[in-house]
Amino acid sequence: MNYLRPVIGRVNLTNCVHSYAKPPRTLITGGLGQLGTALATRLREKYGRDSVILTDVKKPSHKVYSEGPYAYINILNYYEIESMVVNEGIDWIVNYSALLSAAAEANVSVAMDINMKGFENVLNVAKAHDLRVFCPSTIGAFGPTSPRKKTPDLTIQRPKTVYGVTKVYMELLGEVSSSAFIYGNVVLLICEVVKVFVCVSACVSVCVSACVSVCVSTCKHNIS
């Protein structure tokens, strides 16, 4: 099965060309979780230690500090994101900032702010500065009425959790943005890829690293 196929089909990834003359600089938001630190490690191995800036709203361990650049970013603040992008010459944004599952159910308004408004801020910064964006979705974006066997890319999505609802919003906004901003399918494509591997933690960092490197770097369609 080809997990890298476009979901909607607006962009043929096989026809896209690499446009970077030097290694891209990547900003990872919400980066102190398992996916963020694992992805930072793999991208630094490929592009260099200082090519990835890991960010979050918490103080990291000494190990995180020692492995590469780290900074504080609250994605609810548009200007904090934009300042980092401009000052550090960022090319890619990987948005892992989200309030998950039980925490989202207990803090609905906060979850909606982080998972929805935060993502809007990332997209708007990317549009303003000609960046590429990766943002994963979740198997929670499906619901009890979604087909449980051979679930298609485009299907009924009626989640029963706040977290799932915010991720469906993210997917749809990514799809709308692809039309409005000539954005291609990078956001929506990656959402579907991550759903496949979301329950296999050992595979996630490998899959995500490969997908970010292939899909985000090779597609010539930006948000601008």
Burial class (CB in 10 A: 0-12, 13-18, 19+), 219: buried
Catalytic residue, candidates 47, 70, 96, 163: 163
Cβ-count burial 55-74 (b if 16+ within 10 Å, e if not): bbeeebeeebeebbbbeebb
Active site residue 163: yes
And the tokens for 217? 């770097």
SS3 content of the chain, % helix, strand, coil (to 5): 50, 10, 40
Cβ-count burial 180-208 (b if 16+ within 10 Å, e if not): ebebbbbbbbbbbbbbebbeeeeebbebb
The residues facing 94 across adjacent strands are 28, 134
And the tokens for 136? 């994963």
Active-site positions?
Answer: 163
